[in-house]
Amino acid sequence: MSAVIQVDRLSKQYRLGQIAGRRLVDAVNRWLAKLRGQEDPLSKIGSVTASRPSSSSDASARNRGQAQTIWALKDVSFEVKQGEVLGIIGRNAAGKSTVLKILSRVTAPTEGEARIKGRISSLLEVGTGFHPELTGRENIYLNGAILGMTKSEIRGKFDQIVAFSEVEQFIDTPVKRYSSGMYVRLAFAIAAHLEPEILIVDEVLAVGDSAFQQKCLGKMKDVAGEGRTILFVSHNMEAVRRLCTRGVWLREGVMHMDDAIDDVVDAYLDSIPQQPTAVLGNSGLGLTVFDIRLRNQSGVHCSTFRPGDDLIVEMSYEANTSIAFPGFAIVVQSFKGSCFAANMMLDGHQPAVLYGKGQIACTFKSIPLLPQNYTVQLAIRARNGKDLIIGYNDVAYFAVSGNLAEYGYKGGFIALAAHSTPVVVPYQWRLPDGTVASVSLNLPLT
């Protein structure tokens, strides 16, 4: 299999702050000053440096007070072979979108080269070029042409596009009257019917309702199945796992890892530090909860768990006054709502008193959660069970990550678990032919 994309030491440097002298007069002044060998009249005295000085020349530039620069990408190299689906992951501002912008020719690299074989179509945003006064029909042609299709191609696919977008009734109304959902569906429908050899997608699946997102994922999977090459950037790890075969992890503009997708995603999720907790407090009663950590059954402080792991919520507090019988309540929530909770109001296990420094921990055994993102909320109530000492706050975030196939799940839509109801209670099907199929998350790992 030959390489269709070769990225070779790609680097991109940006200048920070105001592009010096936005007025023509300023530029002329600077030039005159330079001619006369004088200092740049527009430099600032003692300007603050950029957070990532990358070379000594930047240091001297700093001293001279000139514009600071930042390397959004430095020496990034990787290769994509025909038919591969490459996922590019990383924290925000790691340089993922910059790579895509360079490959899409929206901006040029500062150094390095990218070599491409085949036609590229980029989806950096849905609805690029939509004009509000034009009808849906006219916008399909316009947007399709902007994305690189010829008029005859669009004409040929017109009916499929309209059908995919589910806006047949409104196809001849101006797009400014569409709801945002319709707008996005139409935009994505057009993009989904591109037939480039190489497709570049930047987090556009983060729009629309979950039913539509599933449709889009499915369509992209089809596209990948046809042997096209896809570059996919997303923060949705489950989507990345499902679609991609290989992964590249960018860290602060530099290549950190380039490997099979599962390995890269696992390594990446493990590296996400626990969200620093805002210190919660009730000044009236002198109580502060200053540290909340999540641990798994091995006691490791982490933010990614496997289905069936133990979830230990550890809270460190400091009480300056004696607080009698405080009731702690911890709620684990998914995007669909509350999943389960530990509530001292219900179980009656309030500690007699809180005073001084101490720790309270709650272990949820064998969490029956599907691979998704979750938050932990905390509230502390007074003895009477009603007054809130510390109101509900999102105090921690964690993700459950794992391949359900390893737990004995065999369904074809396993990776869409990220959109399913999160809690799994063991259940059993009794099928028409008399067989009984038991399902639970506690099957031993193979």
Applying CB under 8 A, the residues found at the interface with another protein are 6, 8-9, 14-15, 19, 22-25, 27, 75, 77, 101-120, 122, 124-125, 128-129, 131, 133-134, 138, 141-142, 145-148, 150-151, 174, 249, 255-260, 263, 266-267, 270
Q: Name the minimum Å distance from CB 222 to another protein.
A: 22
Q: Name the minimum Å distance from CB 157 to another protein.
A: 14
| Smaller CB separation from another protein, 27 or 443 | 27
| Smaller CB separation from another protein, 141 or 325 | 141
Q: Name the minimum Å distance from CB 424 to another protein.
A: 27
| Smaller CB separation from another protein, 146 or 353 | 146
| Smaller CB separation from another protein, 258 or 314 | 258
| Smaller CB separation from another protein, 18 or 442 | 18
Q: Name the minimum Å distance from CB 260 to another protein.
A: 8
Q: Name the minimum Å distance from CB 44 to another protein.
A: 19
| Smaller CB separation from another protein, 69 or 288 | 69
Q: Name the minimum Å distance from CB 112 to another protein.
A: 7
| Smaller CB separation from another protein, 28 or 279 | 28
Q: Name the minimum Å distance from CB 178 to another protein.
A: 16
| Smaller CB separation from another protein, 108 or 431 | 108
Q: Name the minimum Å distance from CB 171 to another protein.
A: 16
Which residues does 220 contact at the CB level (< 8 Å), separation at least 6?
Answer: 192, 201, 205, 230, 232, 243
| Smaller CB separation from another protein, 127 or 368 | 127
Nearest of 167, 135, 139 to residue 154 by alpha carbon = 139
Alpha-carbon distance values, 174 to 125, 170, 182, 217, 436 (Å): 20, 8, 12, 28, 55
Q: Name the minimum Å distance from CB 342 to another protein.
A: 33
